[in-house]
Amino acid sequence: MKKIILDCDPGMDDSMAIIMAAKAPQLELLAVTAVSGNYPVEVTSANARKVLELLGRQDIPAARGMARPMVRPAPPDPFTHGSDGQAENFLPEPSMPLAEEHASDLIIRLARENPGEVTVLCTGPMSNLAMALVKEPALAGQLAGVVAISGAFGLNRYAFLNATGDTPQSEWNVYVDPEAAKIVYESGVPLVALGLDVATHFDVNFSPEDIAAFAESPRPEARFLSQAIRFAAGRGFEAYTTIIDCMAVAYAIDPTLVKTIQGRVGVETQSPLTLGMTVLDRRHHFVWEHLPLIEIGAEADYGRFLHLLRDLVLQ
């Protein structure tokens, strides 16, 4: 089993990512760590525990992390995930306690205790992981890797058509805390960035039969997804918006689902026009060799991805 930590800002699609990660037999979910992003960290850390309780998985520790980005205030989220941050599923308040450690300390400890084995999945702003790397520089060499829903690389038309940040070519998780993303991208940790190019493809649509199966399932997590799809549709959004973050979990389960390319990426932290932009250097000359090579999601098998997700939710 692959050991993972899910660092997230639930968020309806982050909630679905927790569901997938906790249920996948190929994964051992060591902890869920929450960060400020779609909502303040008080909300995201409560929402993470609500989902774990929905699944009866109070055994998985949930930690609260950064209440704001590394150096700037948190921007308000223009894409609301509903008044509860969970597509108005209105799950009961959690009764399980938060882990005593700060999320960044929990990440550092779990990586130290399992050297070379832990993969961090980042489905929110990278503030917790960046703080962990600042506190413990050895962490980059102790992790098996990082798989992140992060960036927009201009590899296809979805990259910018679906831009989720407040600047036209930025992705929300990077836009919220670009300094954190810069720290992680430049840390040398083995990084797979699944950007809007692959994670927001309009082909990510469930069939009417799948949607009916979710609604009729006795499983509360299937009904959670059913409500999320209904909620997104009511606001004019495609089904893909309910499961963007699931792509990181799917990749951890089966990396053959996504084809990646290697590249060097600079993160814009200054310009108000392009704040949060992830600039992929595709040149064959004057290449930014001071930046490490990372893997960038370029194409995905959406049919297999949806199949995997559907089966995990319904089983």
- Residues numbered 101-140 forming contacts with ligand BDR, rule: CB under 6 A: 123-124
79 contact choice in ligand BDR, Ca ion, none (CB below 5 to 8 Å, kind-dependent)? ligand BDR
171 contact choice in Ca ion, ligand BDR, none (CB below 5 to 8 Å, kind-dependent)? ligand BDR
Burial label, 139 (beta-carbon count in 10 A; 0-12, 13-18, 19+): buried
Q: Is 277 in the site for ligand BDR (CB under 6 A)?
A: no
Is residue 99 within 8 Å of 62, Cβ to Cβ?
yes
Query: In this chain, which of 5, 11, 241, 275 binds Ca ion, going by CB under 5 A?
Result: 11
16-31 burial string, b = 16+ CB within 10 Å, else e?
Answer: bbbbbbbbbeebebbb
164 contact choice in Ca ion, ligand BDR, none (CB below 5 to 8 Å, kind-dependent)? ligand BDR
214: amino acid identity, one letter = F
* Least CB distance to ligand BDR at residue 37 (A): 7
By C-alpha distance, which of 8, 9, 7, 4 is closest to 25? 4
Question: Beta strand 278-281 with 258-267: parallel, antiparallel or unpaired?
Answer: antiparallel
What is the pattern of x (binds Ca ion, CB under 5 A) and - over residues 211-250? ----------------------------------x-----
What is the pattern of x (binds ligand BDR, CB under 6 A) and - over residues 147-166? --x--------------x--
293 φ, ψ (degrees, to nearest 5) = -75, 135
Number of H helices, E strands in the chain: 13, 9
* Least CB distance to ligand BDR at residue 128 (A): 14
Q: Token pair of 26, please?
A: 């190929």
Q: Distance between the two ends of the chain, CA-based, in angstroms? A: 19
Tokens 């660092």 locate to 7
CB-wise, 6 or 139, nearer to Ca ion?
6
Is residue 133 within 8 Å of 139, Cβ to Cβ?
yes
Query: In this chain, which of 4, 6, 7, 11 binds ligand BDR, going by CB under 6 A?
Result: 11
Q: Is 197 in the site for ligand BDR (CB under 6 A)?
A: no
Q: Give me the residues paired with residue 62 across strands.
A: 32
Q: Is 226 in the site for ligand BDR (CB under 6 A)?
A: no
Q: Is 244 in the site for ligand BDR (CB under 6 A)?
A: yes
Q: Is 14 in the site for Ca ion (CB under 5 A)?
A: yes
* Residues within the interface to ligand BDR (CB under 6 A): 11, 13-14, 38, 79, 123-124, 149, 164, 171-173, 244-245
* Residues within the interface to Ca ion (CB under 5 A): 9, 11, 14, 123-124, 245
